[in-house]
Amino acid sequence: MTTILIAPAKLTLGLRITGVRDDGFHLIEAEMVTLNLADRLFVSPGQGLSVNGTTEGFSVDSDDNNLVNKALALVGRQAQIRIEKNIPAGAGLGGGSANAAAVLRWAGFTDLEAAATLGADVAFCLRGGRAWVTGIGEEVSPMPFEPRTFTLLTPPFGCSTPAVYGRWDAMGGPRGQGDNDLEPAALTQYPELTTYRDALEEASGLTPHLAGSGSTWFVEGAFPGENRRVVHTVAAE
């Protein structure tokens, strides 16, 4: 018997880095929302992981490095899982975290602190909706839901979250001019991001924001067009 799990994307509307722990984990303050863009996971008895769908030129691990396998290990379960990717990989939309959170929900796992050890976004994806996220991502404080519309532009490449955080460290921890402290580091690590930022600005007349560590740019409102995706926030279940 196959069970289908829905794994919604998240959008980080603002991200401040407030410190670095001795173990290297970064402390954050962030507002996150869930989007109506989701992967689907097909779970059946057995073992193994496969991925198909959009990865936007960014490789998706199907071995022990994949967050789904790490989530299975955390809950002590085995399963054969096929991921149907609709969330671009390496896009700053929490696709891997959403997949891991879906597995944790399926297993009835609710420990946010343990979930955050898999990745900074996993605990939020487990809770969903709209929330203020602090600590290393394990402190998730629900906020009132607001229906909002955003336009996303995702380049045909992904950004490595560890590489962007590493660049932020190497740059001395700069504060972003906008709401995202990682934006200067991402632009330094991946200067080609500017092309896509400028394209979204031209299409919308608004100043785009970087989603997390990138590579997606977003603006509020609906501006459909080539390579642009209009999405909406969804409430927690």
Confirm whether 39 is a catalytic residue: no
Confirm whether 179 is a catalytic residue: no
Q: Which of 10, 39, 85, 181 is catalytic?
A: 10
Instruction: Kindly give the pairing relationship between strand 80-85 and strand 48-53.
Output: parallel
Q: Which of 22, 39, 64, 121 is catalytic?
A: 121
Omega before residue 97 within 30° of 0, cis: no
Six-digit token string for 78? 């085995």
Which residue type is seen at 105? R
- The CB density around residue 192, as the number of other CB atoms within 10 Å, is 10
Residue 84 burial (10 A CB sphere; 0-12, 13-18, 19+): middle
8 Å CB contact between 185 and 165: yes
CA distances from 232 to 34, 93, 133, 236 (A): 8, 13, 20, 13
Residues involved in catalysis:
10, 121
